[in-house]
Amino acid sequence: MVSSPATAAIASAALLFITPYTQDISAIETAPGCLTDNYFGTYGGQSVFHISIPCLENNSFQGFEAANLVPYVADGDRQLVWLQESVIDTALVTPEYEAEVQHFVKWLEEDGYAMGGASGYQQIVSAAPEPRVELQFIKVQPEVGFHGLVAMDPSLVPSIEALLPRYWKPYILPEQPMSYLPVPKPALEHVRSLLETVRFDPVVSSIVNSISLDQMRANIRWLTGEDGESGIVSRHSFSEGSRVAANWLKERFEEAGATCELKPFLTGFAPNVACKYSASVDTTSTVLISGHYDSRGSFGSQRAPGGNDDGSGTIALLGIAHAIASTGIKFRSNVELVAFAGEEQGLYGSKAYAREMRAKDANITVMIQADMLGYHAPGEPPQLGLP
């Protein structure tokens, strides 16, 4: 497809080059250099680049047979959003879910040009009359599921997740492309050397075993509103409940000895809750553990308890904080516990925090994200994903 693009694509104002992810694109001998400075990000195993007509015409694309060319108009009136179907247990792929996905894809392909065709989808935030959603690209692959790209009216972005089927996630593409920078090899080698020394530690085990499951249950019931005391109906990033949750989390972390800050990042969104335990030695090394405390509703309901996604990760952070307080443990690295908002709309909170860390040239040794820890298949061993 890439070697002989359609005439319409050649004539368009801009092209997107979507290719399966590779850790180091410069290692591919046929990779054109004009791609590396026009990178929009990697989503669902697919890397997205802007490509110019001269770049397309003057370079060989051998080895990129699986790539796709997508024409689009680059203007400030539309936001590019990657849509990704999550990999889920086959037991969750019910006929009802499959019908929901097919209905959504059909809406994108036939009626999605205007929100008038989306009357069956949940509405959380009011939008301007007839805001547009235009399908740019959609594909389904074994083991990956559906993934695609839409261009939409910016007014729809805050409520994009309300349009999606269950188990789908949106990812907002940056307004401007950036340089493709592989993770520096020394950084990879440093993390790998640390992982080689990971062993069972009875002291660490005793600290972990000190975490109270009863306290975790109480915390999750407060965050979901199931305890009847918090009054939280939803932790959607634009809801009042998310602000209540943010302040409550800050207070709980501070009670556990952390220094915390509410960090706004975008108008309308609930803030990130960033908490820190300073190292006992003079070092910039930082271990970052995070989750997201915002949630999303589904199927026309504004109720969004988010017990698993990601109340489970959030109470894990609280459990860690309680263990730090109860044991009096000290660290030789700085430790940050951060609860992000804006995750369901496309990782807004974590992206803002990453930009802040990058601007500070922060020394992040390792970052561990805790998301949806509450589901465990019977007979499945405990899992921890390591780089």
Q: Which residues of 241-257 are buried (b: 16+ CB within 10 A; e: fewer)?
A: bbbbbbebbbebbeebe
pLDDT of res. 135: 86
User: Could you tell me the pLDDT band of residue 155, with boundaries at 50, 70 and 90?
Assistant: confident
Distance CA 158, CA 155 (A): 7
CB atoms under 10 Å from CB of 326, counted, come to 14
User: Could you tell me the pLDDT band of residue 25, with boundaries at 50, 70 and 90?
Assistant: low
> What mean pLDDT is predicted for residues 147-166?
84
> What mean pLDDT is predicted for residues 3-24?
63
CA angle, 384 then 235 then 228, to 5°: 105
Of 79-93, 128-142, 153-167, the range with the lowest mean pLDDT is: 128-142
pLDDT of res. 4: 41
Q: Which residues pair with 51 in a beta bridge?
A: 15
Q: Which residues contact 322 (CB under 8 A, 6 or more apart)?
A: 211, 212, 215, 256
User: Could you tell me the pLDDT band of residue 10, with boundaries at 50, 70 and 90?
Assistant: very low
CA distances from 274 to 129, 247, 341, 364 (A): 37, 11, 11, 15
> What mean pLDDT is predicted for residues 63-73?
81
Q: What mean pLDDT value characterizes the chain?
A: 85
Of 73-77, 119-123, 154-158, 236-240, the range with the lowest mean pLDDT is: 119-123
Distance CA 168, CA 56 (A): 32
DSSP E strand stretches across 173-211: none
For the cut 60, the answer to whether the pLDDT of residue 279 exceeds it is: yes
CB atoms under 10 Å from CB of 204, counted, come to 11
Contact status, residue 172 vs residue 157, Cβ threshold 8 Å: yes
Each residue's pLDDT tens digit, 203-226:
999 999 999 999 999 999 999 999
The one-letter amino acid at 327: T
For the cut 70, the answer to whether the pLDDT of residue 11 exceeds it is: no
For the cut 50, the answer to whether the pLDDT of residue 70 exceeds it is: yes
User: Could you tell me the pLDDT band of residue 74, with boundaries at 50, 70 and 90?
Assistant: low
Taken in order 209, 210, 214, 217, is the CA torsion positive or negative? Answer: negative
- Sequential DSSP letters for 135-160: EEEEEEETTTEEEEEEEE-GGGGGGG
Pick the residue with more confidence: 376 or 249?
Answer: 249
Q: Which fold has domain 185-369?
A: Aminopeptidase (3.40.630)
For the cut 70, the answer to whether the pLDDT of residue 9 exceeds it is: no
The β-bridge relationship of strands 14-20 and 145-152 is unpaired
Numbers of helices and strands, H then E, in the chain: 9, 13
Most trustworthy range by pLDDT among 193-207, 208-222, 291-305 = 208-222
Contact status, residue 48 vs residue 173, Cβ threshold 8 Å: yes
Domain with CATH 3.40.630.10 in the chain: 185-369
70: part of which helix (H) or strand (E)?
strand 68-72
The β-bridge relationship of strands 14-20 and 46-51 is antiparallel
Q: Which residues pair with 289 in a beta bridge?
A: 337, 368
Read off the DSSP letter of residue 108: I
Pick the residue with more confidence: 234 or 299?
Answer: 234
Each residue's pLDDT tens digit, 326-367:
999 999 999 999 999 999 888 999 999 999 999 999 999 889
Provide the whole-model pTM.
0.79
pLDDT of res. 311: 96
